[in-house]
Amino acid sequence: MDKFKVVLDIANKQSNLGFGLVALLTAGGEQIFSSVVFKCPCNDMNFIYGLVFLLVPALALLLLGYILSKKMWKLLTGLCQRRREPRRIATTVVVLLQISAGAVVAPSSWMAVALLNGNYYVCAMTGTNVSAYNKHVCGDVSVRAKCEAELYRLPCGKVNEVPADARDDVMLTLRAHSQILGWLLISSIMVFNLLLTCVARCRSPISYLQLKFWRVYAEEEANLMNQYTTKHAKELAERNLKSFFSQKEPEDIVTPPNEAWESVSSLYRFSTRDHYYSTLHRYVENCQHTETDLVRMSSVDSRGPSGQPAILNFVDGGTMPV
């Protein structure tokens, strides 16, 4: 029950419900992983084994956070083909920081719960070869030499020459160190998150209610974009299959050109001069198609020099994780 309360506390400290859910699942997974998979070897591999279980899953979760971030791929897609202007580079760095702020939720939750639990830290620190630290941990002068010699075996309780009371004191000391580091990590993350949020809100060009409306609009636009793209792709695929099997001229279906897709695919930064809420909103408000544009946009006339449909070859037949 106490461990479950710790998981809930970390989840509740997240300012976003999605981040809280990620933290909750990660922390719960760590508890299961620690009790089922982790077994301290109690030999000279203690230090490496404990650090691997503490840090490597956190690194994997961090990389997974980047991989599953749609904003990450929206930013990087075609980035190498664009001009490297100083302003664009600065914007890219800011967006990467925003993505990183979301990506560190899962790894920080893993490390925080792992440190509060203490198993990984205790196993790792009983395998250190730093004599000063070992003397500090063992503490009692009467059994210090025996404790230092058999320190790596303490997590398994296989030490006969060290009294049980002395062993318990060492284990409590190491667990206390781990929990102190865990709470320091949680408090540091929360302070950093608070400062970052305060700075972002302080520099916001719009009011609180307008910012709330912007978020609702962005979510609705993303949901409708998925529905419209699925529907349009299905209609285009059906048109092409009917034309292929019946060997007839295909019907006209208007599809946005590459320039339009590029315009609405970039990340958008709100400007008080325009009052647009997305790149799609800005494109629709400013785009006035002439009759020539509509002809050029139709899929029948969207053909390359060789007469083949102008498609994205790297998408055709490929898969994307996000």
Q: Tens of pLDDT along 115-162?
A: 998 899 999 998 888 888 888 888 765 777 788 888 888 888 776 677
Domain ranges of the chain: 2-202, 208-297
Residue 90 reports pLDDT greater than 80: no
pLDDT at 272: 67
Q: Tell me the pLDDT band of 13, cut-offs 50, 70 and 90.
A: very low
Q: DSSP assignment of 154-191, as one string?
A: GGGT--SSS-HHHHHHHHHHHHHHHHHHHHHHHHHHHH
Helix pair 164-202, 105-117: axis angle to 10 deg: 160
CB neighbours (10 Å) of residue 252? 12
Residue 10 reports pLDDT greater than 60: no
SS3 87: helix
Residue 8 reports pLDDT greater than 70: no
Q: Tens of pLDDT along 288-310?
A: 544 444 444 444 343 333 333 33
Instruction: Please write down the HEC assignment for all residues of 192-209.
Output: HHHHHHHHHHHCCCCCHH
Residue 6 reports pLDDT greater than 80: no
pLDDT at 303: 37
Mean pLDDT across the chain: 77
Mean pLDDT computed over 93-107: 84
Q: 254 - beta bridge partners?
A: 298
pLDDT at 292: 43
Residue 47 reports pLDDT greater than 50: yes
Q: Tens of pLDDT along 216-232?
A: 998 999 899 999 999 99
Q: Tell me the pLDDT band of 238, cut-offs 50, 70 and 90.
A: very high
pLDDT at 248: 87
Structure tokens at 286: 């400013």
Mean pLDDT computed over 235-252: 90
Q: Which residue has the higher pLDDT, 117 or 16?
A: 117
Mean pLDDT computed over 308-318: 35
Mean pLDDT computed over 171-190: 93
Q: Tell me the pLDDT band of 251, cut-offs 50, 70 and 90.
A: confident
Structure tokens at 133: 């630290």
Q: Tell me the pLDDT band of 5, cut-offs 50, 70 and 90.
A: very low
- Spatial contact of 146 and 162, defined as CB atoms under 8 Å apart: yes
Q: Tens of pLDDT along 50-81?
A: 999 999 989 998 998 899 888 888 888 877 77
- Spatial contact of 61 and 110, defined as CB atoms under 8 Å apart: yes
Of 169, 172, 146, 175, the C-alpha closest to 159 is 146
pLDDT at 322: 42
Q: Tens of pLDDT along 181-218?
A: 999 999 998 898 889 889 888 888 788 888 889 889 98
Least confident range of 99-103, 144-148, 170-174, 193-197: 144-148
Q: Tell me the pLDDT band of 3, cut-offs 50, 70 and 90.
A: very low
Please state the length of the chain.
322
